[in-house]
Amino acid sequence: MCNKGRIEAGRVRLDAEQDPAGEIEGMFISSVTDRGPVPALVKTLAFNEARLRVISENIANYDTPGYKAKRLDANAFQRALRRALVERGDDPRKPLVIPETDQLSTGPDGMLRARPAEQPVENVLFHDGTNVSIERQMADLAETNMVHEQATSLLQSKYNGLRKAIRGRL
């Protein structure tokens, strides 16, 4: 009997040819990786990646006449993530789905989708028609970097614990 498996959207999907014991094994892996903080940390990292792309685009277009800065609201993401965690509860069979907002949604593949909004003018619209404040972009970059480092550290710690458990070490 062939014993093949595929990883799909963070879950182990088993081929129809696989034996029932292998199916239980696949369910075990999903139940370990889809519980606790892992799905929320993965969504946080995906949001941070999207936010870093938006910030870098804003910085790259700092001196482009007429360019309007874009933004992804970190507070709105945190509220949506909190709602998703409450709705999911502790059921590992339910995917962590970020509720749709103006800027965020979860695609059919389970991936986080981000749609940046045009950043409102804070105080100054520069003479060339741009509203990019390099100071604001640097502050957003620092904030995003701190959240990214924390989420990465927590996820690494979780996976290190799983690795030790699999190897039988304490």
Res. 34: pLDDT tops 80: no
Res. 7: pLDDT tops 70: no
pTM exceeds 0.85 = no
Which pLDDT score, from 0 to 100, does residue 156 have? 92
Which pLDDT score, from 0 to 100, does residue 30 have? 59
Res. 112: pLDDT tops 90: no
Which pLDDT score, from 0 to 100, does residue 32 have? 61
Residue 16: pLDDT band (50, 70, 90) is very low
Which pLDDT score, from 0 to 100, does residue 8 have? 38
pLDDT tens digit sequence for 114-125: 899 887 766 566
- Long-range contacts from 52-56, C-beta under 8 angstroms, 24+ separation: 52/141, 52/144, 52/148, 54/114, 54/116, 55/137, 55/140, 55/141, 55/144
d(CA 5, CA 18) in angstroms, rounded, equals: 8
Which pLDDT score, from 0 to 100, does residue 6 have? 39
Which pLDDT score, from 0 to 100, does residue 1 have? 38
Contact 37, 99 (CB under 8 A): no
Contact 34, 11 (CB under 8 A): yes
d(CA 102, CA 114) in angstroms, rounded, equals: 9
d(CA 4, CA 25) in angstroms, rounded, equals: 12
d(CA 19, CA 3) in angstroms, rounded, equals: 7
Select from 61, 106, 42, 115 the least CA-distant residue to 80: 106
**Which residue has better confidence, 143 or 105?**
143
Parse the chain into domains and list their residue ranges.
1-33, 37-167
Burial class (CB in 10 A: 0-12, 13-18, 19+), 105: middle
Select from 61, 59, 5, 11 the least CA-distant residue to 35: 11
Residue with tokens 């593949």: 109
pLDDT tens digit sequence for 49-88: 999 999 999 999 988 888 889 999 999 999 999 999 898 8
Which pLDDT score, from 0 to 100, does residue 123 have? 57
